[in-house]
Amino acid sequence: MNQIALPLAWPAEEQGEFLVVESNARAVRMLEHWATWPVRTAVLGGPPKSGRSLLGRIFAARSGGWVIDDADAIDEGTLFHAWNRAQEERRPLLLIASAVAPAWQVSLPDLRSRLAASPAATIGAPEETLMSALFERGFARRHLEARADLIAWLTARTERSHTAVMDTIDTLDRAALAGRRRLTIPLARETLDLDKTARNRSDFRS
């Protein structure tokens, strides 16, 4: 996929869309085809702010299944029983974690073997197309006017992560409000340079 689109067969909810691009398309396909899973449990990995929880809610609405978010922070015995229950009741279960195996290191052997048999997919770092869309949507939700040249400037200079995009939007939102200024490239350059300097000083002191 090289363009952003909605998973059209799925219900939109809350603030609406999940943006489907190459970095998350495999995860979307896995959840769309839940009825063909070899077992009734799958694992979805992804970094914070990547839309993994929204994708899980869309999956639950579409499939009628269960979702356990932040599964890597849940007691392994609880996950083991949830996996077994999903098989017994023939109801799909999605485990959402920050990573999939082997990065998700599971101690309980019985759970580890069950997760190894479960389909898994990971949401990757956002590509340029998604970065641009996240900036555009994030500013729009805050009722901030951001021109195309500013979004292109930010996309080229921001770390390729969902969290970095959200942090940048937060920083510029505060700066625009405090100074009662429009969002422009000069404001962004000034604000982000000051923010970077402040973080470097904090790191040096620590």
Asked if the model's pLDDT at residue 198 lies above 60, the reply is no
Asked if the model's pLDDT at residue 167 lies above 50, the reply is yes
Asked if the model's pLDDT at residue 12 lies above 50, the reply is no
**Digit-coded pLDDT (tens) for 55-94:** 999 899 889 999 999 999 999 999 999 999 999 999 999 9
How many CA atoms does the CB half-sphere of 130 hold within 13 Å?
29
In the chain, CATH 1.10.8.60 covers: 128-205
**Digit-coded pLDDT (tens) for 103-154:** 999 999 999 999 999 999 999 999 999 999 999 999 999 999 999 999 999 9
The pTM is what? 0.82
Asked if the model's pLDDT at residue 195 lies above 80, the reply is no
Mention the CATH class of domain 22-122: alpha beta
CATH 1.10.8.60 is the classification of domain 128-205: yes
Which residues are CB-contacts of 43 (< 8 A; sequence separation ≥ 6)? 71, 94, 95, 96, 97, 100, 101, 104, 115, 118, 119, 120, 121
Asked if the model's pLDDT at residue 206 lies above 60, the reply is no
Mean pLDDT, range 22-33, rounded to an integer: 94
